[in-house]
Chain A
């Protein structure tokens, strides 16, 4: 009366035990399959990301101007000047293009926090003489058809930065035409180009003030299992000594 007979209890318990075992087995098998695929595609994915990066870098710094492995020659930087959004703590990266060891240009990733629809991620390449070599938008969620003209695919607006320089900290030309500057806004979209111009301006100022420091930082982007391993490691050690 007080408690169930033992057999009945076990019939209650057994299915639970069996089911959880089966579930566990499936979980293990599925995880194993996913890890296997991950292991198989890992290198290819890394190579794809590098290729993509190299393509972008090539488009903003003429490949004939440098001869180092630019995707593996970079420093990470954490500057309030480059990024004002508090929710994005990913460090920005500066890729250094060198010709025979001398730096000729640096490509810095930057974030425009005040786009029409969230952050706009940019990469800004600057020559050592403080002129812009090229700018590209890496990622954005601006309105299709209006704000997305910052993409090179949609419009050549982004190429107007090429060769531009900044004269002083408060150079009034670095704004959209509507605000008295030298960069056109788009019909129906002023906020997006304004945000991009501001971010590029900030990056340029940061570069102007810190370019020597940037070159002294240790290299962050070495990929260990690649061919020019010894040489790069040596460079890394050398820059560590500074």
Chain B
């Protein structure tokens, strides 16, 4: 009896420990994806579509959600097949998988959100070339279990979508004086009520809508993130042993 109990407790303790470790890993993944290693702000990957389509919040959300979906699916698939993929041909296989998912998402968006499909134009198929996706497949998904890999994809995708959303919101307010203009193209007719007239502009602030405006706003957002990081560091002076790391695309390099 007593031995049994002991075994049980040690087993449950082990389980608890494993659970805690898993929890910590998920938390770390969330922090990495949303803030510390954000694909848009820190890794600076996939900037071409990020800067090109964020003239309105609706477009930004459309591309963000499409990228999120592709990222989760490709991470899950890459992780699921990681035992069967030889090291030498992994990159072409990852590209194949990503391209297949992007094409599927493109077809689905064409069928169900036609308006947004048209306004995203070439940038929807260009998700294939978004380095953030193959970066996650190579750096994380190909070495970790499906659940964690999917979660990593979700967090990275959310981080990317968040940056798109913020950039889109700032540019739309500055350029057109509205928010969620054309949201019905993405979510259906009920979403027309989401449209907000923030301010009445006599003449549009052109720079915000054009690509150079995107670069400038992006620069300010990155600067803001750095300021917040610096403030956070100031508040916690006791963690002095923290090593300053380079920006990592790959967790190993």
Contact = CB atoms under 8 A, between A and B. Distances in A.
B243 interface: no
Interface stretch (B30-38, B90-98, B149-157, B187-195): B90-98
Interface in B82-121: 84-86, 88-89, 92-93, 96-97, 99-100, 103-104, 107-108, 110-112, 114
A37 B97 contact: no
Contacts of A101: none
B12 interface: no
B114 A52 contact: yes
Contacts of B104: 33-34, 37
Residue among A33, A34, A51 with max Cβ neighbours from chain B (10 Å): A34
A27 B97 CA distance: 9
Q: How large is the interface on B (under 10, 10 to 19, 20 to 34, 35 or more residues)?
A: 20 to 34
B107 A37 contact: yes
Interface residues of A, number: 25
B66 to A, nearest CB: 14
Given A30-B97, A52-B114, A146-B206, A37 B108 contact: yes
B210 interface: yes
B93 A26 contact: yes
A219 B72 CA distance: 46
Interface in A106-145: 143-145
A45 B103 contact: no
B51 to A, nearest CB: 14
By Cβ-Cβ distance, the 9 closest A-B pairs, closest first, are A44-B111, A30-B100, A41-B111, A145-B204, A48-B114, A37-B104, A145-B206, A144-B209, A19-B89
